[in-house]
Amino acid sequence: MNRYKALLLIIIQLVFIISHSGAQPGMSIKNDLTGKLQRNLLAVVAKVASSSVLMWSIDEQTGARQSSQFSGVVVSSDGIILSAAHVVKPGESYKVMFPDGRECIAKGLGTISIPPERMLPDAAMLKIIDKGPWPFAEMGWSSSMSVGSPCVSIAYPESLEQRQPTVRFGQIAVLKNKYGFIQSTCKMEPGDSGGPLFDLMGRVIGIHSGIEVSEQINHEVPIDIYRKYYSALTKAVDYQKLPDANESEKDILFKTVELSPLKGDVLKKFTNIGHDQRKSCVQIKSLIEGQEQLILGTIVMSKISTGKRLSTGLLISKSSMVGENPVIILNHKIVRATVLRRDRLNDLVLLSTDEKLPGGVKLNELERSATHINSAGSLLISPMPDSTPVVAVLGSAIVDLPPKSSYGYIGAFTGLDSNGLKFTFIQPNSAAALAGLNIGDGVESIGGHPVNDELDFVKSFGKYMAGDTVLITIKRNDKKMEKMMVLQYPPQKILNHPAEHFSGGKTLRRDGFKKVFTQDAILTPSQCGGPVYDIEGNFVGINIARFSRANVVIIPTVAIENWYYKIFF
């Protein structure tokens, strides 16, 4: 709860950065103050996103990729890049990718990391060897920041695998933590290392270094470290003790910006944006494999005929987290619900109830073009039925997320012998085992399509997702048999990294989506399924999955409307 209040306090500070005079009488907070705030955030993103780069090391001769991806920021027109020492080596070659599609090569220059911990300073510099000029961001001063100062991260989380950076918004939480880092609430994950942290003037104030388990604890190398050792970093040396320092300067520009006092009435008005939309969100309870499952649902304002009765309440939620005997918790009252339709592609489910539901989104009154947003950095609000709304920012424009963790998994291996393709291994309790398949069974066809070898077998499952039912034809003792098999989720790999152990964890069905966008909200899997609004109160989509430490996936309104209209119109 405190983290949401803290984020709201940041927002109020930002409002007064851009509007010293305060709200005029009769001025709407939705249309004026928060609008100015959003325009300011979008202007900062537009100003500095072009300088944030994606990188990985390459073989100097062949250009082949040699490392995982990481991030950096260009700070001069001739191509000086700042990054983190734990991802850069002096003298090595790196492929550099800009958001506008341009690519070039950079050489690793100096790094500073002190053994044995090799944490702070964790500073590194690279230099683009191709001719510029290159887009760059101005270096700020970390010493000009204070606790509560707003900040913006623009970097490249590896989990999304996108060539466009992802935006995150937060505040300075600690000026110097026990390791010597700045600590911010801008959420990071692998791939973000070396990426920039900006102030609200679009200046680099820190470089991403590391994280702890809590999403609120993110370590940033202070930009003053790079200023202090700038000359030393221009040399291709791995410094294992602090080199000679440069002479420091004062940050005159920052002193021209002062925060106005916080106004309690403004805070209350902003919180009411989410409070007003709370009626469109309810909690749904059901059973999945005998276990109670909770998820949020989005109320739809519509009346439709469901057989002999007229349904007065419709809801849309996350299909894979709504099981048997669903009920709605409405004002501490249990209301029975019926599943009308499921959408495998977007993992949506439509439910109905005879109970009249309060509020809701008006899908049948919106234009078919749908309300949507496409500017990273836009403010978003996710109302909760019984708690403070979650305020976040749009992290990415439209992206596709292939089914890396939700493809249909059979749990069996095959091999060829003189009699054809046969099962050589059946994993206990797998989809194959539960369907009654045995080692030695011959494989004839999958989904009605003949299978001749191992490659055919693997390809035949490419179009299926976890939860899909597949017809498989086998040959056992010279007799053909048909088996129905319900595919499972593949084994979920959880690495021993803080990014994998945040509270609540990841949603099981979190990918296999097309044309979705992400936000940096902190939601548990059971807090998905609810609506997302922009600052003007427009319904922009449904939270469909907690994808990673720093990203929640949103199904946009246009996809929801298209599915809804196909059902009823």
Which pLDDT value is given to residue 258? Answer: 38
Residue 131: Cβ within 10 Å count: 9
Question: Given this structure, which CATH class describes domain 412-486?
Answer: mainly beta
Which pLDDT value is given to residue 13? Answer: 47
- Give the three-state DSSP class for 366: coil
Is residue 330 pLDDT above 80, yes or no? yes
Question: Could you give the angle at the alpha carbon of 287 between the alpha carbons of 285 and 289, nearest 5°?
Answer: 155
Average pLDDT, stretch 268-275?
55
Q: Give the chain's mean pLDDT.
A: 86
Instruction: For 182-233, write each residue's pLDDT tens digit.
Output: 999 999 999 999 999 999 889 999 999 999 999 999 999 999 999 999 999 9
**Annotated domain spans of the chain:** 48-256, 278-376+524-568, 412-486
pLDDT classification of 272: cutoffs 50, 70, 90: low
Q: Give the distance, in angstroms, between the CA of residue 42 and the centroid of all CA atoms in the same chain.
A: 18
Q: Which of 289, 385, 295, 305 is nearest to 340 (CA)?
A: 305
Q: Which residues of 317-345 are buried (b: 16+ CB within 10 A; e: fewer)?
A: bbbbbbbeebbbbbeeeebebebbbebee
Is residue 177 pLDDT above 80, yes or no? yes
Average pLDDT, stretch 276-298?
92
Lookup: tokens for 523: 């939601």
Q: Which of 549, 564, 569 is nearest to 212 (CA)?
A: 549
In this structure, the dihedral spanned by the alpha carbons of residues 301, 306, 312 and 315, taken in order and rounded to 10 degrees, is -50
Lookup: tokens for 375: 């500017």
- Give the three-state DSSP class for 518: strand
Which residues fall within 8 angstroms of residue 317, CB to CB, at 6 or more apart?
284, 295, 296, 297, 298, 348, 349, 351, 529, 542
CB 84 within 8 A of CB 208: yes
CB 339 within 8 A of CB 264: no
CATH 2.40.10.120 fits 278-376+524-568, yes or no: yes
What burial class does residue 187 get, using C-beta atoms within 10 Å of its C-beta: 0-12 exposed, 13-18 middle, 19+ buried?
buried
Which pLDDT value is given to residue 265? Answer: 37
DSSP state of 490: P
Continuous H helices in 19-166: 34-48
Which pLDDT value is given to residue 119? Answer: 77
Which pLDDT value is given to residue 149? Answer: 86
Which pLDDT value is given to residue 262? Answer: 30
Instruction: For 314-328, write each residue's pLDDT tens digit.
Output: 999 999 999 999 999
Most confident of 142-151, 154-163, 238-247: 154-163
Which pLDDT value is given to residue 492? Answer: 87
Average pLDDT, stretch 128-133?
94
Average pLDDT, stretch 104-130?
93
303 Ramachandran zone, left/alpha/beta (phi>0; psi -120 to 50): beta
Average pLDDT, stretch 266-271?
46
CB 346 within 8 A of CB 510: no
Instruction: For 70-112, write each residue's pLDDT tens digit.
Output: 999 999 999 999 999 999 999 999 999 999 999 999 999 999 9
Q: What is the largest CA-CA distance in the chain?
A: 86
Is residue 14 pLDDT above 50, yes or no? no
pLDDT classification of 163: cutoffs 50, 70, 90: very high
Lookup: tokens for 28: 């709407």
Which pLDDT value is given to residue 255? Answer: 46
What stretch of H or E contains 94? strand 93-97
Higher confidence at residue 19 or residue 540? 540
On the question of a common fold for 48-256 and 278-376+524-568, the answer reads: yes
Is residue 288 pLDDT above 50, yes or no? yes
- Give the three-state DSSP class for 456: helix
Candidate from 14-18, 324-328, 485-489 with smallest mean pLDDT: 14-18
Candidate from 105-114, 257-266, 410-419, 517-526 with smallest mean pLDDT: 257-266
Which pLDDT value is given to residue 2? Answer: 52
Higher confidence at residue 271 or residue 101? 101
Which pLDDT value is given to residue 487? Answer: 96
Which pLDDT value is given to residue 310? Answer: 44
CA–CA gap between residue 394 and residue 212 (Å, rounded): 23
Instruction: For 536-553, write each residue's pLDDT tens digit.
Output: 888 999 999 999 999 999
CB 36 within 8 A of CB 19: yes
pLDDT classification of 169: cutoffs 50, 70, 90: very high
Which pLDDT value is given to residue 304? Answer: 56
CB 538 within 8 A of CB 517: no
Q: Domain 48-256 belongs to what topology? A: Thrombin, subunit H (2.40.10)
The pTM assigned to this predicted structure is 0.88
Continuous H helices in 339-407: none
pLDDT classification of 51: cutoffs 50, 70, 90: very high
